[in-house]
Amino acid sequence: MLEIKNLHANVDGREILKGLDLTLPTGEVHAIMGPNGSGKSTLAYVLAGKEDYEVTEGSITWNGKDLLDLDPSARAATGVFLAFQYPMEIPGVATMTFLRSAVNAVRKARGEDELSTPDFMRLVKEKAKGLKIDAEMLRRPLNVGFSGGEKKRNEILQMALLEPSLCVLDETDSGLDIDALRIVADGVNALRSKERSMLVITHYQRLLDYIVPDKVHVLSKGRVARSGGPELALELEKTGYAEFGGEATAA
Amino acid sequence: MDLSVQQFRSKAEQDYLDLYTKAEKALPGAGNPFVAALRADAIKAYGRLGLPHRRIEAWKYTDLRARIDEVHPLVTALGIPVSDEALEAALGSAIAAFPAYRIVIVEGELRVDLSDMSGLREAGVEVSSLSHLLEMPPEWLKAALGQVNPREDDAVLALNTALMTGGVALRLPEGLTLGKPIHLVHLDGTGEAASTFTRNVIAAEAGASATVLESYGSLGMTGLQRNAVTEIKIGDKAAINHIKIQREAPETIHLNVWLAALGADARYNGFQLSTGAALARNQVYVAFNGEGSSADISGACLGRDRQHCDTTLVVEHRVPACDSRELFKVVLDDEARGIFQGKVIVSPDAQKTDGKQMAQALLLSETAEFDSKPELEIFADDVVCGHGATSGQIDEDLLFYLESRGLPEPEARAMLIQAFVGEAFEVVDDEALREAFNAASAAWLGVEAG
Ligand SMILES: Nc1ncnc2c1ncn2[C@@H]1O[C@H](COP(=O)(O)OP(=O)(O)OP(=O)(O)O)[C@@H](O)[C@H]1O
Ligand SMILES: [Mg+2]
């Protein structure tokens, strides 16, 4: 279970998260919505442990473990995974090399044996196939020259390979065409399980048609302003964020 | 009153002259008038030039007069035993095991017992120890030695010509394509601190093609003062890959000069990786003497502690329609200092020249320093030339991305640094060599090769 209590966080000395509370039980999928600039990505980065995001107050625990104590790689080892809103391009790092290093680093930290090259190749091939990622893409440097949609699919591939228990998806649907959205959503749904919790940040009901959340939270000005069932997302689609101090329509 | 700067000699400056006076009669080729005259002229030139210092533009960042206090005696070849393990420790396992015709020079002496030249002569290559050939230099050597791309103003080169004792002379006959690379291994000894002057001369006749790797390592001697020169003459339509890896002991002073000249429709791929020595000055002079040729001279320098690594290039486009490319990557930690000076000269006749140069540094500490000085001297009007230099730190956002995927920080950092230098390795055609360079940079970073 993820428990966020009274979380305050600063970026560049400016307070962005202002007393955020959120509980995500194990096995559930929660959606996070909210106007641009309300702090959704900030929350995602704080969960993953980005250095320049300074937590000034409050706590985050994952299955009773204090996440704030851990550096980003240790968080990954305990099961935290962030699918980035804007995945990084890293020239000179081959996608395959990167995937393999990541998988083995996480396995090592979890006390598992490293995968042999053939086993790893088999695993990647299988997962990539489900996401319609072709082998040619994996031979390129990490995310370099990938289209927006390819980058997002690559994020989900990493998620599938690293087998996290807490998945945070930051606008994984943005930039996807209708077919890709379906592929990605299927990929995410395939990972849904009793042991795995997910925070799905999105602006659109469209994604939530595929990935039906157990709960929806609306973030506004750095706090959870409202929580409800899946119907809350439908309501927001009609009314926009006006009542939360955002612009009149959802972004 | 015109008091020449050379009136005053530093101790080291005088030491070099004394070294010559003492060794003159015993140097290889002393009895040969051609060689003796070459040496005498060179020491005279050195006497006039003195040791380079910071008031000489090309040596602004590398002041040899200030850095060299005294000169160690000439190395004596004792024929010390060198085990496979010692060789591997000196060169790194990937380079030591690199499949090639191997010619090993220890303490300035060519060691047949450590070399593996079988098949090289049969393939048509003329190969000898330079000191042996100097006793009675054949015509081709006379035409090459000091003649490939002469520099009147270089004291390091002048000292080498005056004192050259070891090295290899290679001649690749017309049209020869050598399938297997030639690896020239240069190792110091294990005795007292010494200075050594090695010289390689490579003449690739028309249409010849080969890969020559030079490696420089230490068997243990501290305080080696190395002066190493390679002259390489690339005939019409010849294609040469010329690669160097330097990983000498931390106290070494490594002074290196490459002199290359290309005929028409020739190709020269030069690459240097430096990770060793306290001070390394790598000078590369390339001249285009025939139309339609191209040269790619790239490299990487990885430095830490107080290492000083200087790469100075001069590319002369003397004739039309030649291309030159340079890409240098520099990674500096602690108080290391990196220098890149690249000069491209385009003569009035050299229309249709295409010359591009780029130097990029990655600074891993606040106290590391990178200086770059690109220079274009263009006297022709129909040319495309450009240069650039950048200097920056590790991108924290990229680092976070890797860490968030479970890579511990040191590994994530190493991966980014390898990616940065790796771009320069891409110019190396030979995949095994590229892998060896990746392994060498991984070893420098203290991680396994990715
Ligand atoms: N590095 C930074 N420096 C300064 N301000 C920042 C930084 N990162 C985020 N912010 C600010 O924090 C606020 C919240 O940003 P955040 O990216 O979390 O919003 P978001 O809810 O994800 O918005 P969107 O829907 O547009 O993705 C914004 O006002 C943003 O400008
Ligand atoms: Mg966002």
Distance between CA atoms of residues B190 and B154, nearest Å: 30
Distance between CA atoms of residues A172 and B391, nearest Å: 34
Distance between CA atoms of residues A184 and A156, nearest Å: 7
Q: Is residue B32 part of a domain?
A: no
Q: Is residue B38 part of a domain?
A: no
Instruction: Give the model's pLDDT for residue A246.
Output: 55
Q: Does B404 touch chain A (CB under 8 A)?
A: yes
Q: Does B410 touch chain A (CB under 8 A)?
A: no
What's at A154, amino acid-wise? N
Q: Parallel, antiparallel, or unpaired for β B354-363 and B369-378?
A: unpaired
Q: Which of A71, A90, A103 faces B409 most closely, judged by CB atoms?
A: A71
Fold (topology level) of A2-244: Rossmann fold (3.40.50)
pLDDT in tens, chain B (450 residues): 444 455 689 999 999 999 999 999 999 999 999 999 999 999 999 999 999 999 999 999 999 999 999 999 999 888 899 999 999 999 998 899 999 999 999 998 999 999 999 999 999 999 999 999 999 999 999 999 999 999 999 999 999 999 999 899 999 999 999 999 999 999 987 888 999 999 999 999 999 999 999 999 999 877 899 999 999 999 999 999 999 999 999 999 999 999 999 999 999 999 999 999 999 999 999 999 999 999 999 999 999 999 999 999 999 999 999 999 999 999 999 999 999 999 999 999 999 999 999 999 999 999 999 999 999 999 999 999 999 999 999 999 999 999 999 999 999 999 999 999 998 998 888 888 898 999 889 989 987 654
Distance between CA atoms of residues A119 and B374, nearest Å: 49
- Which of residues B394, B410, B428 is at a domain's end? B394
**Please, which residues have CB within 8 angstroms of residue A246's CB and are 6 or more apart in sequence?**
A34, A35, A36, A38, A220, A240
Q: Are residues B233 and B91 in the same domain?
A: yes
Mean pLDDT rounded to a whole number for chain A: 93
Q: Is residue B375 part of a domain?
A: yes
Distance between CA atoms of residues B398 and B22, nearest Å: 58
Residue span of the structural domain in which B420 resides: 395-449
Q: Which of B404, B420, B450 faces A72 most closely, judged by CB atoms?
A: B404
Phi, psi for residue A162 in degrees, rounded to 5: -85, -10
Instruction: Give the model's pLDDT for residue B267.
Output: 98
Q: Is residue B15 part of a domain?
A: no
Alpha carbon separation from B199 to B53, B164, B232, B304, B338 (Å, rounded): 24, 6, 11, 28, 25
**Please, which residues have CB within 8 angstroms of residue B156's CB and are 6 or more apart in sequence?**
B52, B64, B227, B229, B255, B257, B281, B283
Q: How many other C-beta atoms lie within 10 A of the C-beta of residue A71?
A: 13
**Set of chain A residues whose Cβ sits within 8 Å of the Cβ of B412:** 73
Radius of gyration of chain B (CA): 21
Q: Which of B398, B400, B406 faces A102 most closely, judged by CB atoms?
A: B406
Q: Is residue B35 part of a domain?
A: no
**Set of chain A residues whose Cβ sits within 8 Å of the Cβ of B393:** none
Q: Is residue B3 part of a domain?
A: no
Q: Are residues B233 and B337 in the same domain?
A: yes
Q: Is residue B356 part of a domain?
A: yes
Q: Are residues B329 and B439 in the same domain?
A: no
Q: Are residues B308 and B290 in the same domain?
A: yes
- Which of residues B372, B394, B416 is at a domain's end? B394
Dump the DSSP string for B61-91. Answer: T--HHHH----PPBP--------HHHHHHHH
pLDDT digits (tens, 9 = 90+) for A136-178: 899 899 999 998 889 999 999 999 999 999 999 999 998 899 9
C-alpha A87 – ligand 2 centre gap (Å):
12
Q: Parallel, antiparallel, or unpaired for β A90-94 and A80-83?
A: unpaired
- Which of residues B351, B367, B394 is at a domain's end? B394
**Interchain proximity A102–B411, CB inside 8 Å:** no
Q: Are B100 and B180 in contact (CB under 8 A)?
A: yes
C-alpha B207 – ligand 1 centre gap (Å):
61
- Reply yes or no on whether the pLDDT at A250 is more than 50: no
Instruction: Give the model's pLDDT for residue A191.
Output: 94
Distance between CA atoms of residues A174 and A86, nearest Å: 10
Read off the pLDDT band of A71 (50, 70, 90).
very high
Q: Is residue B28 part of a domain?
A: no
Dump the DSSP string for B239-272. Answer: EEEEEEEEE--TT-EEEEEEEEEE-TT-EEEEEE
**Interchain proximity A101–B415, CB inside 8 Å:** yes
Residue ranges near ligand 2 (ion) with Cβ within 5 Å = A 40-41, 85
Complex ipTM: 0.95
Q: Are residues B415 and B385 in the same domain?
A: no
Nearest-Cα distance to chain B for A70, in Å, is 11
Q: Are residues B303 and B439 in the same domain?
A: no
Chain A residue with CA closest to B447: the answer is: A101
Q: Are residues B237 and B90 in the same domain?
A: yes
Q: Are residues B292 and B205 in the same domain?
A: yes
- Reply yes or no on whether the pLDDT at A251 is more than 50: no
Q: Number of structural domains, chain B? A: 2
Q: Does B418 touch chain A (CB under 8 A)?
A: yes
Q: Are residues B370 and B401 in the same domain?
A: no
**Set of chain B residues whose Cβ sits within 8 Å of the Cβ of A53:** none
pLDDT digits (tens, 9 = 90+) for B141-177: 999 999 999 999 999 999 999 999 989 999 999 999 9
- Reply yes or no on whether the pLDDT at A208 is more than 60: yes
Closest CA to A189 of A209, A175, A205: A209
C-alpha A246 – ligand 1 centre gap (Å):
14
A39 lines ligand 1 (CB under 6 A): yes
What's at B372, amino acid-wise? S
What percent of chain A shows pLDDT beyond 70? 97
